[in-house]
Amino acid sequence: MSIRIENIAKVFGGFQALSPLNLEVEKGEMIGLLGPSGSGKTTLLRIIAGLEGADAGRIYFHDRDVTHVHARDRRVGFVFQNYALFRHMTVAENVAFGLDVLDKKQRPNRQEIKARVAQLLETVQLSHLAKRYPQQLSGGQKQRIALARALATKPEVLLLDEPFGALDAKVRKELRRWLRSLHDELGFTSIFVTHDQDEALELSDRVVVMSNGKIEQVDDPVQLYAKPASQFVFDFLGNVN
């Protein structure tokens, strides 16, 4: 599913969090949103998901104008910061939640949900943990479950907010590789937020560098280093490590 963002803008109480910005993402691409804290990455991601409304501009999924379509009906998978799993639900129930919230017309029956959850747990290689509760899992396992839940509705677009932010370096590296191969295998379009330069460069087909609610540059990782489009990008890439 391709995504087209046209002149999207957002103001929070007089503060311009996003200046009108444009971005086109091709079907099957993996895009990293990179930039300092407060640059508008999460806001942009939430607007694409429909979790936040924009003040101006339009968003298209392929040729469909989804600007005013409810988050649930956009059929995107969303992985929240810090997993956001439900403590009182088992792993299997957490994964099923993605399907339980669908409206009646779209919701599979009990049997189908059970089969789908089993299949998703297999995809993330955690079938043996189906009956556990989130607090009994490691950080990496929680992240896999959050991903399984996001994939429950078979979305064509997967959005991830700092997906590996809370994990230690070794697990981060493993999960990065795993996410990239899952993305390639299932063929969805992915956008993830990170402030980790290595993560953005290693995972993304193209990186979007943001600052102060604006897009500074959109390029593949090699070009980004070879030809930084502004002094900001040059300094930002140089100063992070």
- Is 42 a binder of ligand ADP (CB under 6 A)? yes
Tokens read off for 71: 């988050």
Instruction: Identify the residue among 5, 30, 32, 41 touching ligand ADP (CB under 6 A).
Output: 41
- Which of 35, 77, 155, 163 touches ligand ADP (CB under 6 A)? 35
Q: Which of 43, 94, 143, 197 binds ligand ADP (CB under 6 A)?
A: 43
- Which member of 1, 39, 150, 206 binds ligand ADP (CB under 6 A)? 39
> Interface residues for ligand ADP in 119-158 (CB under 6 A)?
none
Residue carrying structure tokens 């479950």? 145
Nearer to ligand ADP, 43 or 204 (CB): 43
- For residue 46, what are the contacts with CB-CB under 8 A and spacing of at least 6? 52, 161
Query: Among residues 35 and 221, whose Cβ is nearest to ligand ADP?
Result: 35
Binders in 183-202 for ligand ADP, by CB under 6 A = 193
**Widest CA span of the chain, in angstroms?**
57
Tell me how far apart the alpha carbons of residues 75 and 153 are, in angstroms, rounded to a whole number.
7
- Provide the angle, in degrees to the nearest 10, between the axes of the packed helices 91-100 and 139-150: 20
Residue (37 or 241) nearer to ligand ADP, CB:
37
Is the Cβ–Cβ distance between 134 and 142 less than 8 Å?
yes
On whether the CB atoms of residues 130 and 90 are closer than 8 A, the answer is: yes
Least distance to ligand ADP from the beta carbon of 78, Å?
14
Kindly give, in sequence order, each residue whose CB lies less than 8 Å from that of residue 199, ignoring residues fewer than 6 positions away: 32, 164, 172, 176
Q: Is 17 in the site for ligand ADP (CB under 6 A)?
A: yes
Judged by the rule CB under 6 A, the positions of this chain that interact with ligand ADP are 12-13, 17, 35, 37-43, 193
